């Protein structure tokens, strides 16, 4: 059975999953964000079969999350370096780390995000860059963007009223959320 492609769906989450939705891809990006660049580093860290690792690395290069760079001609060897798009995936990894530690680590956290200078543990949250406010419902809701088609606009219009109302005095669809 062939997997459905999300690449052309209007949803940015679906389009993102098309590029990184396979779990090995996310773990490869995690390791790349830790500084790994070489095939053998990824393979040793993940315990992944070479043919699967090759496919996942090729897909990440094709999605422009990694760039393939030749570091040896004899024998031919490549390294895989994060692109700007790949580096922009870091907040997703940080969010998954925090979510996993909170919900799926009954024995306690095995990995922490800490301040590199002080060693103090960080508590990652998602905030609006403009206001610094926590991006939590009901103050912030999803709204159709300027490129939304009729189907997406209908989908958002059919939500329960509480999920489509802006904050008092605000408006839905304004960049940065309700203002």
Res 177: pLDDT: 41
Helices and strands per DSSP (H, E), number in the chain: 7, 2
Distance (Å, rounded) from C-alpha 128 to C-alpha 49? 40
**Binned average pLDDT, 10 residues per bin, the chain of 179 residues:** 69 82 92 97 97 96 97 94 97 94 92 96 94 90 89 86 59 42
How many CA atoms lie less than 13 Å away from 142 in the CB half-sphere? 12
How much is the pLDDT for 139?
Answer: 87
Contact 18, 7 (CB under 8 A): yes
* pTM, entire model: 0.81
Q: What is the model's pLDDT at position 134?
A: 94
- Count the Cβ atoms, other than its own, within 10 Å of residue 112: 13
Torsion angle, alpha carbons of 101, 105, 106, 109, to 10: -60
């Amino acid at each position: 059975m062939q997997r459905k492609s999300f690449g052309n769906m209007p949803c940015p989450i679906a389009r993102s999953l098309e590029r990184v939705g396979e779990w090995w891809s996310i773990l490869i990006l995690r390791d790349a964000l830790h500084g790994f660049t070489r095939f053998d580093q990824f393979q040793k860290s993940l315990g992944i079969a070479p043919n699967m690792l090759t496919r996942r690395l090729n897909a990440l290069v094709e999605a422009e999350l990694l760039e393939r760079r030749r570091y040896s001609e004899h024998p031919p060897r490549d390294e895989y370096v994060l692109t700007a798009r790949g580096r922009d995936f870091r907040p997703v990894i940080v969010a998954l780390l925090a979510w996993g530690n909170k919900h799926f680590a009954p024995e306690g956290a095995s990995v922490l995000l800490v301040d590199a200078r002080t060693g103090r543990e960080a508590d990652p949250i998602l905030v609006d860059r403009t206001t610094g406010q926590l991006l939590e419902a009901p103050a912030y809701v999803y709204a159709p963007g300027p490129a939304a088609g009729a189907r997406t606009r209908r989908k958002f219009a059919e939500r329960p009223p509480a999920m489509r109302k802006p904050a008092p005095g605000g408006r839905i669809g304004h960049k940065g959320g309700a203002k």
